[in-house]
Amino acid sequence: MNFLIVVNTNTYSLWHGIAVQLKSLYPESRFAAIISGHGNIKGALEKQEDVKYEYVYEITHIERKFLKEEVPYKVLREFEATIPEKSLWRFIAIDRKWGYQFSKGAIPVSLVPKKEIHCENILKVAGGYVKYFKDILAGFNTNVVIFRMGMHSFVAPILEQVCKNMNIIHITPVETRIQNYFSLTSVKEYLFPQINSTYKKIMEGQLPMDLSPGKKSYEEMLCSIEKKNTSYYFDQGNINIKRIEQRVKHCSIIVVSLRGIVGRTINWFRYRKLDKNKLSEDKMLSEETSRYTIKGLFYSYYYSLYKSYQMKKLFNENFFDEYDPEEKYLYFPLNAVPEYTIQVQANMWINQLHIIETLAKSIPFDWKVYVKEHPSQVAGRARSCSFYKEIKSYSNVKFIPFETDGHQIIKNSQIVVNITGTTGWEAILFHGKPVITFAESTYEICKLSKRVSCLAELSREINKECKRIKNISLEERRKRLVCFLNAVLLHSCWVDNPLTITGDEECTLEEGKITGKIIGDTIKKYLNGQ
């Protein structure tokens, strides 16, 4: 078995830990690695003795090489023909740099030179990755690719599609939004075909099994939301809000701004040094290819100041509309942008302002549309001021404080409409509310929600879904959820520190070995089921 591991900076210890475990499970296996990010990960992998990586490919600056080449039109035409949607632009829209123009309302976190982002360059980079990955996978005679989906670029979806075209297994561990459980998937939209298949068999009586694990998990999650300052899974949302409150709410905008500038300056110098070391090792690259330019530093200052101003504004109670639990309303939580959940899982629905406008025209006359900002957006990203102004411009739309308890909003709503994410799942799991989504979700198999693909039909679908859900008994709802949870648990593994997998926390070597063993064992189980 030949394993290709995709490694990034924050979590390289985890992915290496997975490789260590796979080596013990498949002693005759071979390993190679693709690296992106800061630091000397390549050196670390080459020095260690646990696993021999026959090839280590560094792609941090590879796009600069692609830009010096011609557009590979033939390669792109052949590749595009294999994409189910038949459009390469679906992949381009995923990328935070090359597809940033599709992220409506979002301000780029890093400098995006407009003169560089034009159609020809975009196609050069996309085609470069297609050729590059085909050569690597074929050269190494790869059997399995293991990678982290949320790479915020079109690297992951292009690699996934190349693997499919070459009949190579491609898998990644993904959170299930059920406690600390992770499952494996080969689908960039974070779907789990094996879970769906098992659920159908359980519901149809083809797979008799003890349902007590699902019941236990269900009860534990119900209990968790009744307690303050806890979550049914390891979501960072509430933690982010509390951190921001401490940093922003009780400090002047000058202090907040200075903190941001100092932090960005320190990081710029640190990463600039690492970048220079990599540039000196690669003769095909030059000083001008560095991502850490003086212009980029000043842009980061601008972003930091803008972000500080916006955070102070979002903590101003006068900026928001009053939340009224007695009012009839449709709840629409905003998705963070740029973010994997919307750019990959639902990238035809990135323009959230258009959705809000449609919702405002689709509700009964005595309802309101309640819109709430995503905690992650407040914590680490910025939207243009015009974005919020447009939301507040509709007379039947309320922009409510983002600190408002999400479960309370769901509980008192008539229906929840979300593009993708956890809110729809919470509305189904805990509150028995009608739910409309725009992107395919894992829980859709339970038939307790409705996916809509045409905004023109939204008003009728809202009405129909509210009536349909009322006719499903509590007993039937619980049965579906328990069976679904059992299917999830059957194909998942428990992880003590999930944030090391999602990349929200750095992973130590020891943590990498512990979690890597768990994921490695799960991969073997997955491969045996192939």
**pLDDT tens sequence across 371-409:** 999 887 877 788 888 899 999 999 999 999 988 889 999
Say whether pLDDT at 416 is over 90.
yes
Number of Cβ within 10 Å of residue 226's Cβ equals 9
Range among 101-110, 160-169, 226-235, 344-353 rated most confident: 160-169
Question: What are the tokens at 473?
Answer: 């008994």
Say whether pLDDT at 235 is over 70.
no
Residue 118 domain-assigned (yes or no): yes
Based on the domain organization, do 70 and 139 belong to the same domain?
A: yes
- The model's confidence at residue 119, banded by pLDDT at 50, 70 and 90, is very high
Question: What are the tokens at 282?
Answer: 């690669």
Number of Cβ within 10 Å of residue 408's Cβ equals 11
* More confident call, 43 vs 197: 197
- State the average pLDDT for the chain: 88
Which letter does DSSP use for residue 190 in this model? -
How much is the pLDDT for 40?
Answer: 76
Based on the domain organization, do 63 and 161 belong to the same domain?
A: yes
| Domain with 68 in it | 2-190+494-528
- The model's confidence at residue 279, banded by pLDDT at 50, 70 and 90, is low
Burial code (b: 16+ CB inside 10 Å, e: under 16) for 14-37 equals bbbbbbbbbbeebeebbbbbbbbb
Residue 373 domain-assigned (yes or no): yes
Based on the domain organization, do 468 and 511 belong to the same domain?
A: no
Based on the domain organization, do 311 and 339 belong to the same domain?
A: no
How much is the pLDDT for 275?
Answer: 67
The rounded distance, in Å, linking the Cα atoms of 180 and 498 is: 6
The rounded distance, in Å, linking the Cα atoms of 128 and 194 is: 33
The phi, psi pair for 67, rounded to 5°, reads -65, -20
| pLDDT > 70: percent of the chain | 91
How much is the pLDDT for 153?
Answer: 82
Secondary structure (3-state) at 316: coil
C-alpha distances (whole Å) from 178 to each of 76, 190, 444, 501 are: 39, 14, 15, 15
Based on the domain organization, do 354 and 428 belong to the same domain?
A: yes
Place of tokens 């990081």: 267
How much is the pLDDT for 247?
Answer: 62
Bond prior to 213 in cis (omega within 30° of 0): no
Residue 203 domain-assigned (yes or no): no
Q: How far apart are the first and last CA of the chain?
A: 14
Residue 232 domain-assigned (yes or no): no
How much is the pLDDT for 229?
Answer: 60
Nearest-Å Rg of the Cα atoms of the chain is: 24
Based on the domain organization, do 168 and 149 belong to the same domain?
A: yes
| pLDDT > 90: percent of the chain | 57
How much is the pLDDT for 274?
Answer: 67
Residue 204 domain-assigned (yes or no): no
Based on the domain organization, do 353 and 310 belong to the same domain?
A: no
The CATH number of residue 352's host domain is: 3.40.50.2000
Of 273, 290, 315, the residue at which a domain comes to its end is 315
The pTM is what? 0.90
Based on the domain organization, do 149 and 8 belong to the same domain?
A: yes
Of 315, 342, 371, the residue at which a domain comes to its end is 315
Number of Cβ within 10 Å of residue 224's Cβ equals 14
pLDDT tens digits along 60-93 = 888 989 999 999 999 999 999 999 989 999 999 9
Based on the domain organization, do 311 and 326 belong to the same domain?
A: no
Burial code (b: 16+ CB inside 10 Å, e: under 16) for 319-342 equals ebeebeeeeebbbbbbbbbbbbbb
Mean pLDDT on 403-427? 94
Residue 213 domain-assigned (yes or no): no
Residue 183 domain-assigned (yes or no): yes
pLDDT tens digits along 26-49 = 999 999 999 887 767 888 888 888
Residue 227 domain-assigned (yes or no): no
Based on the domain organization, do 32 and 176 belong to the same domain?
A: yes
C-alpha distances (whole Å) from 122 to each of 63, 66, 71, 154, 381 are: 10, 10, 9, 11, 24
The number of folded domains in the chain is 3
The full length of the chain comes to 530
- The model's confidence at residue 237, banded by pLDDT at 50, 70 and 90, is low
Based on the domain organization, do 309 and 357 belong to the same domain?
A: no
- The model's confidence at residue 201, banded by pLDDT at 50, 70 and 90, is very high
Question: What are the tokens at 296?
Answer: 């980029």
Based on the domain organization, do 366 and 311 belong to the same domain?
A: no
How much is the pLDDT for 286?
Answer: 47
The rounded distance, in Å, linking the Cα atoms of 33 and 133 is: 12
Q: Which of 178-187, 250-259, 482-491 has the lowest mean pLDDT?
A: 250-259
